Chains A and B, each alone.
Chain A
Amino acid sequence: MQTFNLETDLAGLKLKNPVITASGTYGFGEAYAPFYEPSVLGGITVKGITPLKRLGNPVPRLAETPSGLLNSVGLENPGLEAFLKSYLPQLASLDTAVIVNISGFSLEDYALMASSFQRGCGIAALEVNISCPNIKHGGMAFGTDPKSAEEVIAAVRKKTDLPLIAKLSPNVTDIAAMAKAVESGGADIISLINTLLGMQIDLNTQKPVLANTMGGLSGPAVRPVAVRMVYQVYQAVKLPVIGMGGISTWQDAVEFMLAGASAVSIGTANFGNPLAPVEILEGIQAYGNQRGYQSVREIVGLAHGQKG
Chain B
Amino acid sequence: MDLKEKVVFNERIGHPVQGLYKLVLSGEAAKTARPGQFLHIQVTDTSDPLLRRPLSIAGIDPERGEVTIYYRIKGKGTELLSRIPADQYLSVLGPLGTGFSIPREGELLLIAGGIGMFPLFSVIQAAQKVPVKIKVLWGGENKDFLDSADLNLLLQKGLDVELSTLDGSFGEKGLVTALLEKHLALGSTQELLHGGLLQAAACGPNGMLKAVAGICLNGDVPLEVSLEERMACGVGACLGCVCTVRAENGGLKRKRVCKEGPVMNGQEVVWDADI
CA distance A275 to B93 in the complex (A): 11
Residue of B nearest to A53 (CB): B253
Chain A residue numbers with a CB within 8 Å of B2 are 35, 274-275
A18-41 interface with B by 8 A CB criterion: 24-27, 30-32, 34-35
Is A171 an interface residue when CB atoms closer than 8 A count as contact? no
Taking a contact as CB atoms under 8 Å apart, the answer to whether A59 and B243 are in contact is: yes
A71 to B51, CA, bound (A): 13
Is A62's CB under 8 angstroms from B240's CB? yes
Cα–Cα distance between A272 and B42 once the two chains are bound (Å): 7
Interface membership of B47, Cβ < 8 A: yes
Q: Are B233 and A271 in contact (CB under 8 A)?
A: yes
User: Given A35-B1, A76-B254, do A64 and B51 touch, yes or no (CB 8 Å)?
Assistant: yes
Q: In the assembly, what is the distance between CA of A248 and CA of B50, in Å?
A: 11
The CA-CA distance from A183 to B129 in the complex, in Å, is 67
Docked Cα-Cα span, A100 to B231, in Å, equals 25
Contact between B239 and A73 (Cβ–Cβ < 8 Å)?
Answer: yes
> Across the interface, do B229 and A59 meet the contact criterion of CB distance under 8 Å?
yes
Give the complex CA separation of A268 and B231 in angstroms: 12
- Chain B nearest CB: distance from A109 CB in Å? 20
Chain A minimum-CB-distance residue to B1: A34
Mask: chain B, 93-117; 1 = CB below 8 Å from A; 0 = not: 1000000000000000000000000
Which A residues are CB-close (under 8 A) to B275? 55, 58
- Which of B47, B236, B243, B275 has the most chain A CB atoms closer than 10 A to its own CB? B47
- The yes or no answer to B86 lying at the interface (CB within 8 A) is no
Knowing A34-B1, A59-B243, A61-B230, the reply to whether A24 touches B47 (Cβ < 8 A) is: no
Contacts of B244 in A (CB 8 A): 55
Cβ-defined partner of B273 (8 Å) among A32, A58, A60, A275: A58
**CB-nearest residue of chain B relative to A223?**
B47
Contact A64 B49 (CB under 8 A): yes
Q: With A71-B232, A271-B232 known to touch, is A61 a contact of B242 (CB < 8 Å)?
A: yes
Any B CB within 8 A of the CB of A51: no
B238 touches A25 (CB 8 A): yes
A143 at the interface (CB under 8 A from B): no
Q: Which residues of B contact A59 (CB under 8 A)?
A: 229-230, 241-243
**Given A35-B2, A55-B275, A63-B230, CB of A73 within 8 Å of CB of B240:** yes
Q: How far is the CA of A24 from the CA of B239 in the complex (A)?
A: 8
Q: How far is the CA of A64 from the CA of B80 in the complex (A)?
A: 15
What interface size band does chain B fall in? 20 to 34
In this complex, which of A31, A271, A275 has the most chain B Cβ atoms within 10 angstroms of its Cβ?
Answer: A271
Interface residues of A in 69-101 (CB under 8 A from B): 69, 71, 73, 76
With contacts A67-B50, A272-B42 taken as known, whether A62 is within 8 angstroms of B236 at the C-beta atoms is: no
**Interchain nearest-CB distance for A268 vs B (Å):** 7
Contact partner of B242 (CB less than 8 A), chosen from A27, A34, A56, is A56
Residue A208 at the chain B interface, CB threshold 8 Å: no
| Shortest Cβ distance from B273 into A: residue | A58
Q: Please, how many angstroms separate the alpha-carbon atoms of A267 and B217 in the complex?
A: 42
Interface check B248, CB cutoff 8 A: no
Minimum Cβ distance to chain B for residue A159 (Å) = 27
Asked, given contacts A32-B235, A58-B274, whether A68 binds B50 with beta carbons under 8 Å apart, the answer is yes
Contacts of B237 in A (CB 8 A): 25-27, 31-32, 270-271
How far does the Cβ of B245 sit from chain A's closest Cβ, in whole Å?
A: 11
Interface: A104 (CB within 8 A): no
**Residues from 47 to 74 in B contacting A, C-beta threshold 8 Å:** 47-52
Q: B252 interface residue, CB < 8 Å from A?
A: yes
In the bound complex, CA of A64 to CA of B264 (Å): 25
> Once bound together, how far apart are the Cα atoms of A275 and B235, in whole Å?
13
Name A219's closest neighbour in chain B (CB-CB): B50
Q: Is the CB of B254 within 8 A of A272?
A: no
A270 and B233 in contact, given A66-B48, A67-B47, A219-B50 (Cβ under 8 angstroms): yes
Residue of B nearest to A30 (CB): B236
Given contact pairs A32-B237, A219-B50, A271-B238, enumerate 19 new A-B contacts (beta carbons under 8 Å).
Answer: A25-B233, A31-B237, A35-B1, A55-B244, A55-B252, A55-B275, A56-B239, A58-B275, A60-B229, A60-B230, A61-B230, A62-B241, A64-B50, A67-B48, A67-B50, A268-B50, A271-B232, A274-B233, A275-B2
The 13 sampled A-B contact pairs (Cβ below 8 Å) are A25-B233, A31-B233, A31-B235, A55-B254, A61-B241, A62-B230, A62-B231, A62-B240, A67-B48, A73-B239, A76-B242, A271-B233, A275-B2
- B residues sitting closer than 8 Å to A (CB atoms) are 1-2, 42, 47-52, 93, 229-244, 252-254, 273-275
